[in-house]
Amino acid sequence: MNALFFRLQHRYAPYLFVAPFVILFLTFTLYPIAKSLSLSFYITNGPKSQVFVGWDNFRFLWGDPAFHRAVWNTCTYALTSVFLQLPLSLGLALLLNSRLVKGRNFFRFGFFSPHLVGQVFVAVLFSVVFIPKFGLLNRVLHALVGTAIDTKWLGNPELVMPALVLTSLWMYVGFNMIYFLAALQSVDRELYEAAQVDGAGAFKQFVHVTLPGIRSVAVFVTVLSTIGSFQLFELPYVMLSNTAGPDNSGLTVVMYLFQNGFIAGDLGYASAIGWTLTMGVLVISLAQMRLTGTWKRED
Amino acid sequence: MGWQRFGLHAVLVLCSVVMLTPMVWLVAATIKGPDDLFHYLFFPSPSRFSLYNFRQLFEQIPYVRFMINSLFVAGATVLVQLFFSSLGGFALAKYEFKGKRLIMVLMLTTMMIPAQVMLAPMYELIYAMGLVDSYWGLIIPGAVSVFGMFLFRQSMLDLPDDLLQAGRIDGCTELRLYWDVVLPVQRPMIGAFCLIAFMGSWNNFLWPQIILHSQERFTLPIGLNQMVGLYAQEYGAMMAGTLLAVLPVVLLFFLLQKEFISGLTAGAVKG
């Protein structure tokens, strides 16, 4: 009897251990995803009244200028975070990885520390950094150029996106640097020595030793920050005092979803936006993994 | 070599200054009176230090209440996530069972699908369960962290099977093994995960914003955001609220920083 209990508990233990994940996955992931697909064919008004409209939500979305604006803004932000922020992170990591550096831990903490301030709090802080006349940014610019600067960073539709990008650089450059630095430190030093013996200069070493050595991490970071940037919401929403900014210049896809679903109460349209976002993100991240030749296989 | 070393450090110092200036500015702003706030760029002379902003903060909004709410929600979330994620990670790392591959695939998919697509049905679900405007509505849907399961699986792969086998021969049930043998040696990863989970919950905005309706239940991000809307000109008080909201995370970071950096990068570098 006791032996039987022991065998059974050994056999069924793993199922029990993953059960919480499975239950939550079914209830709070699989069901909502399926439900949101069906919801996207309805016009709803709060959780109770629903009218089936077929493809109308998607058709409307296709011609919705506000949605176009949101997609444009989100893509701009995502592109800058991949092509501006990640190279900067890698650059900082390369500098920090140099053998000449003294006080590496201090610098690492210094660069990383903005990430400890969460998105909403960063947004509150930077909403004040960007105020005209007295904000930190304009004061610093004033000190640099010598004349008083009165730029309305968050009031000028042309400048809202640059302000957002600047904020996210501050918040994420050091964070992504941590990944690159760890990857760089795991590259075998002997490979560099071998390359040096073969007469490879700094650039050749970077291309032939460093890049292959950090490739899997680079792909991981790129995919994660792309997915993350497409979900941009908190920064603009809080920085722009819960609005989309002048001329919708700070409107993002998720913000548009939130506005439609939870302020206007049309969960159906919100779901259509959500599905469009999901398809976009999936296609882009799969393409990234394909292009970089990384089909992550789990063994 | 000398100038190279100097140039390198000059660039690093410059970058650190850029990164740290907004924070110094934040700290300075909190201890200036309303007249000094924009008069001095950073710190005035110590004789002009003032607690005005903190007084404003506590008078205008129930800040302490928000802080307690946040601590409660984040604390509960961390404990629940820690338990379920490490348990799941253990199963994935050290057992062979039917459906294991499927579970791994489902986990990867979950991580790639933007959570926002689920917002509308999740709201309906939480509404149907009667959990709108309650902390359960925050804690239950996030009770298992997929990222955490990956982290724990990754670090538990290195556990020697002999150790587990020895425990079994001594008569440990599998749950006992997890509790008495596996968890104690996972200390560093537990530390890392606690910080990651705490930060996730502490900074969580969109979902709480949707389901929390009454002010006395607001967490800090929700409460502070509301304040920005209501008292847009109270820059000093806003800065004070931001500073106090960041302190718990900073404190926890200093307690756990070693584990955190290694935990954060473990999954990426190994996998």
**Residue reference for tokens 């709201």:** B123
Closest partner CB to B205 (pick from A15, A117, A234): A234
Contacts of B25 in chain A (CB under 8 A): 129, 136
Is A193's pLDDT higher than 80? Answer: yes
pLDDT of B265 reads 66
Within a domain: A17: yes
Q: What is the pLDDT of residue B266?
A: 62
Task: Specify the 3-state DSSP secondary structure of B45.
Answer: coil
Residue B171, burial from CB neighbour count under 10 angstroms (0-12, 13-18, 19+) = exposed
Out of B91, B178, B250, the one facing A18 most closely (by C-beta) is B91
Please, is A156 exposed, middle or buried when counting C-beta atoms within 10 Å of its C-beta (0-12, 13-18, 19+)? middle
pLDDT tens, residue by residue, A124-182: 999 999 988 788 888 888 888 888 888 888 989 999 999 999 999 999 999 999 999 98
**B139 in Cβ contact with B76 (< 8 Å):** yes
The position carrying tokens 């073969």 is A198
Please say whether the beta carbons of B49 and B31 come within 8 A.
Answer: yes
What are the tens digits of pLDDT across the range B213-265? 999 999 999 999 998 888 878 888 999 999 999 999 999 999 988 787 777 66
Domain count, chain A: 2
- Is A232 touching B (CB cutoff 8 A)? no
In B, residues 227-256, which contact A (CB 8 Å cutoff)? 228-229, 232, 235, 238-239, 241-242, 245-246, 249-250, 253
Task: Report the share of chain A in percent with pLDDT over 70.
Answer: 96
Put simply, the chain B residues between 49 and 68 with a CB less than 8 A from any chain A CB are: none
Residue predicted with more confidence, A149 or A235: A235
Shared domain check, A93 and A24: no
Q: What is the pLDDT of residues B127-156, one digit of tens each?
A: 999 999 999 999 999 999 999 999 899 889
Give the tens place of pLDDT for each residue, A238-263: 999 999 999 999 999 999 999 999 99
Average pLDDT over residues B35-46: 81
Q: Are residues A184 and A250 in the same domain?
A: yes
The tokens of B188 are what?
């560093």
Q: What gap in Å lies between CA B55 and CA B34, rounded to an integer?
A: 12
- What mean pLDDT is predicted for residues B175-183? 92
Can you tell me which residue has the tokens 């008292």? B231
Which residue has better confidence, A51 or A16? A16
* Reported ipTM: 0.91
Same domain, A30 and A148: no
DSSP string, A232-291: --HHHHHHTTTS--GGGTT--HHHHHHIIIIIS--HHHHHHHHHHHHHHHHHHHHHHHHH
- Among B93, B82, B267, residue whose Cα is nearest residue B193: B82
> Span B93-108, mean pLDDT?
92
Residue B115, pLDDT above cutoff 80: yes
Q: Is A195 on the interface with B (CB under 8 A)?
A: no
Residue A228 CA to residue A226 CA, distance in Å, equals 5
* Mean pLDDT score, A2-9: 85
Q: Which residue of A has its CA nearest to B146?
A: A21
Where do the H-state alpha helices sit in B113-219?
119-128, 136-139, 146-156, 161-169, 174-176, 183-185, 187-203, 206-211
Q: How far apart are CA A77 and CA A95, in angstroms?
A: 26
Mean of the per-residue pLDDT values of chain A: 89
Q: Which whole number is the average pLDDT over B8-12?
A: 93
Indicate whether A297 pLDDT > 50: no
- A18 plus A146 within the same structural domain: no
Quick one: pLDDT band at residue B1, thresholds 50, 70, 90?
low
Q: Average pLDDT of A11-25?
A: 92
Going by C-alpha positions, the residue among A230, A232, A234 that lies closest to residue A282 is: A230
Would the pTM count as exceeding 0.80? yes
What confidence category does residue A298 fall into, taking pLDDT thresholds of 50, 70 and 90? very low
> Does residue A199 share a domain with residue A92?
yes
- Residue A86, domain member (yes or no): yes
Q: Hey, what amino acid is at B230? A: L
pLDDT at A244: 92
DSSP designation for A83:
I
The C-alpha atoms of residue B91 and residue A6 are separated, in whole angstroms, by 17
Q: What is the C-alpha to C-alpha distance for residues A117 and A108, in angstroms, rounded to an integer?
A: 16
Q: Do A133 and A23 sit in the same domain of this protein?
A: no
**Closest to A21 in 3D by CA, of B74, B175, B80:** B80
The answer on pLDDT for B44 being more than 90 is no
In chain A, residues 60-79 whose CB comes closer than 8 Å to chain B = none
Average pLDDT of chain B, as a whole number = 90
Chain A contact present for B179, CB below 8 A: no
pLDDT more than 70, % of chain B: 96
CATH code of A161's domain: 1.10.3720.10
Residues A226, B151, B153, B198, CA torsion sign: negative
Inside any domain, residue A51: no
Q: Is B228 within 8 Å of A238 when comparing Cβ atoms? A: yes
How would residue A46 be classed by pLDDT, with cut points 50, 70 and 90? low
Whether B271 shows a pLDDT value over 50: the answer reads: no
The answer to whether position A299 is within a domain reads no
Mean pLDDT on B190-205? 93
* B28-42, B156-170, B239-253, range with the lowest pLDDT: B28-42
A-contacting residues in B 67-106 (Cβ below 8 Å):
84, 87-88, 90-92, 95, 97, 100-101, 103-104, 106
**DSSP single-letter state for residue B181:** I
Residue A237 covered by a domain: yes
Give me the helices (H) in chain B, please. Answer: 2-30, 52-60, 63-94, 100-112, 119-128, 136-139, 146-156, 161-169, 174-176, 183-185, 187-203, 206-211, 220-230, 235-270
Q: Quote the CA–CA distance of B132 and B136 in Å, as a whole number.
A: 9
- B177-181, long-range: CB < 8 A, 24+ apart: B178/A17, B178/B86, B178/B87, B178/B90
Asked whether residue A27 falls in the same domain as residue A169, the answer is no
Cα B38 to the center of its chain, rounded Å: 32
Task: Write the CB contacts of B241 (distance below 8 Å, at least 6 apart in sequence).
Answer: A124, B57, B61, B63, B220, B224, B227
Distance CA B270, CA B268 (A): 6
Query: Contact B22/A170 with Cβ under 8 angstroms?
Result: yes
Same domain, A34 and A74: no
pLDDT of residue A299: 35
For residue B40, pLDDT beyond 70: yes
In this prediction, residues A30-48 reach a mean pLDDT of 85
User: A18 CB near a chain B CB, below 8 Å?
Assistant: yes
Please give the domain boundaries of chain B with CATH numbers for all domains.
63-219+250-270 (1.10.3720.10)
- A225 and A85 in a common domain: yes
- Domain membership of residue A50 (yes or no) is no
Judging contacts by C-beta atoms under 8 Å, the chain A residues touching residue B260 are none
**Does residue A8 fall inside a structural domain?**
yes
Q: Do A108 and A214 lie in a common domain?
A: yes
Note whether A8 and A154 are same-domain residues: no
Q: Which domain holds residue A32?
A: 2-39
The token pair at A122 is 């960063």
Give the mean model confidence (pLDDT) for residues A101-123: 91
Q: Which of B12, B88, B123 shows the shortest C-beta gap to A18?
A: B88
- My answer on whether A9 and A86 are in the same domain is no
pLDDT at res. A294: 61
**3-class state of residue B203 by DSSP:** helix
Distance from CA of A191 to the nearest CA of B (A): 18
